[in-house]
Structure 1
């Protein structure tokens, strides 16, 4: 036997996984909800997925349209691969031929009064006939225009609300915000309000986001959440909240398989920590991150590379010339490589992809190359830092080792990074160019490691066909990090193969 409390807590799923997550399961049954957004934001697509989710559960679904024709609705559904013939009842409130019928045009009375009453009557009649449990009314703009005054409009919405309560139907009202956008009449009447927004950046695809503005008696995930409209419908990516994810894991020290690099790092990198590889272009930031990823695969673990800046074919060829065959590792299934287009992918969708890899794929090593590309997906630096904070904290709590690269401006001397996230990372690996004995050389040092001790020395390294070779500490030089060091000792501590 079902109790009244169980009925109250029962939810009508929207059929959109991410949106149901934000709404804590879906829409409360037997209530009226408002879905608002400007034209093109995806209201109709969300509404159709909501009705189809009900039809799959054996519920009766009804779509009442005042703006689009039934033919337009079915054509729009077909573009997503949906056949609405058996799934959803569609009622076109004002057929186009009636608009041209002289018998329906009033001359002595206000036509809006009669049309509003007739529209309401038709809505109630079709509901009596179909007896739906899920209803969509599209859109409120037409009802608002027919009502003409705010008072009549509010009375009409209240009448619709109380009418549907008798049928215990879950109602979704669509509003395209084309008339009286400041009118909050339905906001006060509705049980919940969901807003869809579309943003157009200076370059790249449009960005869409959803926000739950109100949900009576229900805890929900607040703030903005990115979403996209694809061929198979709407996909919502709930904002990542790291505090919701806690899991126990065994803290281990991961080796890079290069003894000198491990010595610099005090033994290696710990699981559940994040590492930032910082340096100018061409110093080998990507290579170091790949070294840790390949070492993870060699241990039998899984790793994921998210490449923002480089075309994959060029990356494969470049790494192969250094002794790392990424394609062969990818073929084993233990190395996932994704090309990320910053102009097309929103930050929320990227976080969702990373989370899926870690949760579903069992991946324990994550490489983000680079943060410069990630910043292009989110021009607002403050928001970028908040996104990175939540993503890194989440990955740490899942026991993953994360490696990020940041390209600094300049080549030698004082250099600046486009965004400072050094305080977020647990370990910071600094790469530099310096001049010595008539050659441009490279140096590596560890300037921060929260999880343990590390060498305070600076070591030279070389990149060749065998990958990375790291030398002894540069104890005989002063000013290496400035780019033009002074030789203080006797003999040369530089890598012998580089000495003329």
Structure 2
């Protein structure tokens, strides 16, 4: 119906040939979606209550030879009178009941489609296939096949045939709302637009001198950075520091929060003097809360694509890798494959990506990621709890920078009411990554052997 309505909007003649549901019901449905039904011509050939009137029973339960002539004549005369530019047959599988065998059915369909093409009409037909009744023979006769499927997790669309042209492969999502049908294509890697990022900085600073020293100045723009650590270590706060600095240059950022509400983020930021509220008011930051089951992966990536290409976003923060994998509904592929597509797309468009990743170990065995996703990162900044003089403290360090050098030492890390505070390198301690550091023994470095 979108197809027919679009034709009307462009001054074309559209014809709807109804073989299934009653015509009045179809018109009401079209009106509900504001698809301009007044400009669509309806040829209603669906059975109605009048077909069951006394003396007319034979017309419903008659054989094909009785029904076919008048049926075909109505179709032919309507098409010849209207000369439609666009035609919809809904559903074409009803033609099966007007023929005596499959060969006759195929012959009639092929002849009718040739007749419509001969009148310069573009034709769409719907088919109600099932396990017991295939429509492979109909697909063979067409130039394009669009497959729609639905289950309790959502609706998907894929194209299996498009004669004479290329098309975007893969499984895409769609939904039907009060606005009609909306399609969310599978995300494809983009291309770098030099003009879009010509004025963007090459290096993204955190605004914390000691962190920038760890990173030898900052992270390269257009790369993927993981901020990894256990719960409560300060991953989100650290990630937001880079966004704060970008906002000061007028750059746009978006934060996709999979684990916290925007209200909680604002409150927590206010308590540590991080100006999230002013960034939101100035429009340099938007926070999108992603609730469990709210979006399919394709719906989420479509929104991300809009933010980058239409809103000019230059930094994307995915806050909560575990939440990302759990909250998106209807996965038809591995969640890590979806993340890989997102990362490849953002890299190709020159957008900087920051992903916070929670690890379960608070102390003990050192792990950067719970899953095998660290290969996606260009940079890995990690936070770690340690016991220092019977107090629970934190340290920060850099494990990986694919595009440059970095400081290999660890530094004490603290979040105060004035923001993040980072200390000097902890050069006199060892065993920090075990969670229970000790003072380094310098006697082995002393030539005299007396420890002085």
* Superposition TM-score, scaled by structure 1 size: 0.82
Compare CA radii of gyration and give the structure with the larger one: 2
Pick from 283, 289, 296 the counterpart of residue 333 of structure 1: 283
The DSSP-based 3-state class of the residue aligned with 1:460 is strand
Aligned to 1:236: 183
Of 290, 304, 307, the match for 1:354: 304
1:190 maps to which of 131, 142, 155: 142
Counterpart in 2 of 1:400?
Answer: 351
The answer for the alignment partner of 1:213 in structure 2 is 160
- Report deviation, 1:255: 1.0
Q: Which aligned segments of 4 or more residues in structure 1 are displaced greater than 6 angstroms?
A: none
Deviation by residue 1:226-280 (Cα, 9 ceiling, x = unmatched): 22222211121222221x5232245611111100010111110111111011111
Per-residue CA deviations over 1:50-100 (Å, capped at 9, x if unaligned) read 111111110001111111112211222233234412x21122113513321
| Distance in 1, Cα, partners of 2:258 & 2:72 | 53
Matched with 1:76 is: 29
Distance 1:173 1:381 in 2: 27
SS in 2 for 1:106: helix
Q: Which residue of 2 aligns with 1:18?
A: none
Task: Name the counterpart of 2:295.
Answer: 345
Corresponding residue of 2:17: 64
Query: Are residue 448 (structure 1) and residue 400 (structure 2) matched?
Result: yes
- Note the residue ranges of structure 1 that are not aligned, 5 or more in a row: 1-47, 201-205, 491-500
- Aligned to 2:126, what secondary structure does the other structure show? strand
* 1:400 positional shift: 1.5
| Farther-moved stretch of structure 1 (245-254 vs 390-399) | 245-254
Counterparts of residues 36-55 of structure 1 (less than 5 Å): 48-55=1-8
> Could you say if the C-alpha distance between residues 71 and 317 of structure 1 is closer, same or farther in structure 2, counting changes exceeding 3 Å?
same
Instruction: Give the direction of change, closer, same or farther, for the CA distance of 1:334–1:181 in structure 2 (3 Å limit).
Output: farther
Matched residue pairs, number? 435
- 2:54 & 2:180 partners in 1: Cα distance? 41
The aligned counterpart of 1:176 is 128
Structure 1 pair 121/209, CA: closer, same or farther in 2 (3 Å)?
A: same
Distance 2:62 2:178 in 1: 44
Consecutive unaligned residues of structure 2, counting only runs of 5 or more, are 443-452
Structure 1 residues 419 and 227, CA gap change in structure 2 (3 angstroms): farther
Residue aligned with 1:212, SS? strand
Q: In the alignment, is the contact (CA less than 8 A) between 2:154 and 2:330 conserved in 1?
A: no
How many angstroms apart in 2 are the aligned matches of 1:485 and 1:278? 20
- Any idea what the Cα deviations from partners look like across 1:186-209, whole Å, max 9, x if unmatched? 111011111011133xxxxx3222
Give me the CA root mean square deviation.
2.2
Among 374, 386, 391, which residue is 1:434 paired with?
386
CA displacement at 1:171 relative to structure 2: 0.5
Residue in 1 that maps onto 2:57: 105
State the Cα distance separating 1:313 from its structure 2 match: 1.1
* 3-state DSSP of counterpart to 2:291: coil
After superposition, the C-alpha distances for 1:299-351 in whole angstroms (9 at most, x for unaligned) are 22111111121111111111111112322211111212212224121111211
- Give the CA deviation at 1:181: 4.1
Three-state SS of the structure 2 residue aligned to 1:423 is helix
Indicate if the aligned counterparts of 1:137 and 1:174 stay in contact, CA closer than 8 A.
yes
Matches of 2:251 and 2:213, distance apart in 1: 22
Per the normalisation by structure 2, the TM-score is: 0.90
Asked if 2 retains the 8 angstrom alpha-carbon contact of 1:74 and 1:83, the reply is: no
Q: Which residue of 2 aligns with 1:38?
A: none
8 A contact 1:305–1:337 mirrored in 2: yes
Instruction: Show the counterpart of 1:44.
Output: none
Q: Which residue of 2 aligns with 1:225?
A: 172
1:124 and 1:145 mapped to 2: Cα distance?
18
**Equivalent in the alignment of 1:370:** 320
